[in-house]
Amino acid sequence: MSDLNAFREETRAWLEDNCPASMRTPTPENEVVWGGRKQEWVNPDSKVWMERMAERGWTVPQWPTEYGGGGLSIDQDKILQEELRRINARSPLQSFGIWMLGPALLEFASEEQKRHYLPQITRGEIRWCQGYSEPNYGSDLAGLQTRAEDKGDHYLVNGAKIWTSYADQADWIFCLVRTDTDAPKHEGISFLLFDMDSPGVTTSPIELISGASPFCQTFFDNVEVPRGQLVGEINKGWTIAKRLLQHERQMVSGIGGNSALGGSGTKLEDMAKHYVGEADGLIADAAVRSDVCEHRMNDRAFQLTMSRATDEAKAGRPDGNLASVFKYYGTEQNKRKYERLLEIMGTQAVGWDGVTFSEKEIGTTRQWLRSKANSIEGGTSEVQLNVVAKRVLGLPD
Ligand SMILES: Cc1cc2nc3c(=O)[nH]c(=O)nc-3n(C[C@H](O)[C@H](O)[C@H](O)COP(=O)(O)OP(=O)(O)OC[C@H]3O[C@@H](n4cnc5c(N)ncnc54)[C@H](O)[C@@H]3O)c2cc1C
């Protein structure tokens, strides 16, 4: 315990000295740091904060120090997160590299690849996108058709991906390709990494109902990918792909079980008091109060179940398939949160633009629409239920 207490003191002092004051406020949309070659530093403190955290290995606290991580234990990381929350520190770096690709590389990449790619991820130098889904091959991902032909020193990639989040802003892609067209579908897939600036790569943004265009269709036309950028063995990419999806599902499930809204930190109960009214410190309407209580109790139960799973993993009993349980529940819970919120806000929840609605209200309506995608991205709710039925409950096909 005393070691952990000393670590907390040291951490608190370091954060006090190194976290700029403007990094202790909620993050406006245009100041989120995704890193990479196209990052624009709207607030110069964001750069200072990311670089200081990266230098200490704390953009990825638990990764080994030789790959740019902090080498912290789970308990030390918990303390670091508590201390960051205590001062309302912003996340220094958002990154598919940190959440999805990095953990897969730690498990499957060669030593040379780890030393090359992982430190770039920890320092936010390269922004990654995920080239999995294709038209007709989303849930049935293993049927993917993008081809990579072996040309000796390189693979020649041809095909198209869809729903590639931020492909137009990413520097590199981790991409599933078919390298054997005769083998059963799961056994002819490989996992490639390549630069989005490679000749033959083009992206075309897709506009969404919310007005934003974070997705692209991504085309590959005779893209040459050096042989050394294959991760793992040829035709064995499906194993890597599945493990990466578990990390993705873990990440997406984290958005559930939290009654705070978006980046604002406002709680559901505060919104209810504001829109429905407050009586003696309680939400005035008994039915709304009961709904909010039920939601909060489910949040709490979900958080406790997730932390139990973390403790079990720490005790040497990890179960990757639980990611599907959490992905399913967390994303459905987040959707329910926004549905409840819309009921609470009443007519103030239907704003799109204009002066009748505040910026925050318009933002909430857009977030409600965005939340609908949570149970699709990273594999749909139905697909998670299939995984739970087969791999967790052991039910027959
Ligand atoms: C916000 C967001 C971000 C995304 N980002 C990326 C990205 O960066 N990279 C990427 O590669 N992809 C990305 N995707 C794509 C995502 O992975 C797919 O949308 C998802 O896997 C579903 O595939 P689909 O859209 O083709 O739907 P389909 O597979 O066509 O599914 C249609 C419907 O049929 C149901 N269904 C399908 N098969 C079954 C089955 N066996 N049993 C029961 N029901 C079934 C589904 O649940 C769904 O309701 C993103 C999607 C979203 C919404």
Q: Across the 397 residues of the chain, what is the mean pLDDT of every consecutive 10-residue run? A: 91 98 92 96 97 98 97 93 95 96 97 98 98 96 98 98 96 98 97 98 87 89 98 98 92 72 76 95 96 95 89 80 91 94 92 83 87 92 95 90
Residue with CA at minimum distance from ligand 1 atom 48: 380
Rounded Cα–Cα distance for residues 111 and 115 (Å): 6
Ligand 1 pocket test target in 139, 140, 219 with most atoms within 8 Å of CB: 139
Q: How many angstroms separate the alpha carbon of residue 351 from the centre of ligand 1?
A: 28
pLDDT for 80 equals 97
Q: Is 136 left (phi over 0), alpha (psi -120 to 50) or beta?
A: left
Structure tokens at 92: 């220094």
- Which phi and psi angles does 386 have, rounded to 5°? -65, -45
So what's the pLDDT on residue 322? 86
Q: Give me 76's structure tokens.
A: 């030390």
Ligand 1 atom, smallest distance to 167 CA: 8
d(CA 298, CA 115): 42
Give the pocket of ligand 1 (CB within 6 Å): 129-133, 138-139, 161, 163-165, 373, 376-377, 379-380, 382-383, 386
Q: How far is CA 340 from the centre of its chain?
A: 24
pLDDT at 262: 62
Q: For residue 372, give both structure tokens.
A: 């609908």
User: Which residue lies with its CA nearest to atom 41 of ligand 1?
Assistant: 383
| CA–CA dist 41, 49 (Å, integer) | 11
Identify residue 343 by its one-letter amino acid code.
Answer: E
**Contacts of 304 by beta carbon, 8 Å cutoff, 6+ apart:** none
From the alpha carbon of 166, which atom of ligand 1 is closest? 8
Minimum-distance ligand 1 atom for the alpha carbon of 131: 11
Q: How far is the CA of 133 from the centre of ligand 1 (A)?
A: 8
Give me the amino acid identity at 262. Answer: G
Q: Which helix (H) or strand (E) holds 209?
A: none
Residues 6+ apart with CB under 8 A from 242: none
Predicted local confidence at residue 210, as pLDDT: 66
Distance 383 CA to ligand 1 centre (A): 9
Beta strands in the chain (DSSP E): 128-131, 147-150, 154-165, 172-178, 189-195, 201-206, 215-226, 230-231, 260-261, 266-267, 278-279, 282-283
Q: Which atom of ligand 1 is nearest to the CA of 161?
A: 11
- Judged by DSSP in three states, 301 sits in helix
Do 179 and 188 meet the contact criterion of CB atoms below 8 Å apart? yes
Predicted TM-score (pTM) of the model is 0.92
Question: Of all protein residues, whose CA lies closest to atom 4 belonging to ligand 1?
Answer: 377
pLDDT score of 260: 67
User: Pocket of ligand 1, candidates 377, 384, 386, 387: which has the most ligand atoms within 8 Å of its Cβ, to mutate?
Assistant: 377
The rounded Å distance from CA 379 to ligand 1 centre is: 5
In the reported structure, the alpha carbon of residue 390 is separated from the centroid of ligand 1 by a whole-number distance in angstroms of: 19
Closest alpha carbon to 319 in 331, 306, 335? 306
380 Cα to the center of ligand 1, angstroms: 6
pLDDT of residue 208: 77
Main-chain phi, psi angles of 137, to 5 degrees: -130, 80
Q: How many angstroms separate the alpha carbon of residue 49 from the centre of ligand 1? A: 36
- Measured from the Cα of 380, ligand 1's closest atom is 47
d(CA 260, CA 271): 10
Protein residue whose Cα sits closest to atom 32 of ligand 1: 139
- Count the Cβ atoms, other than its own, within 10 Å of residue 372: 14
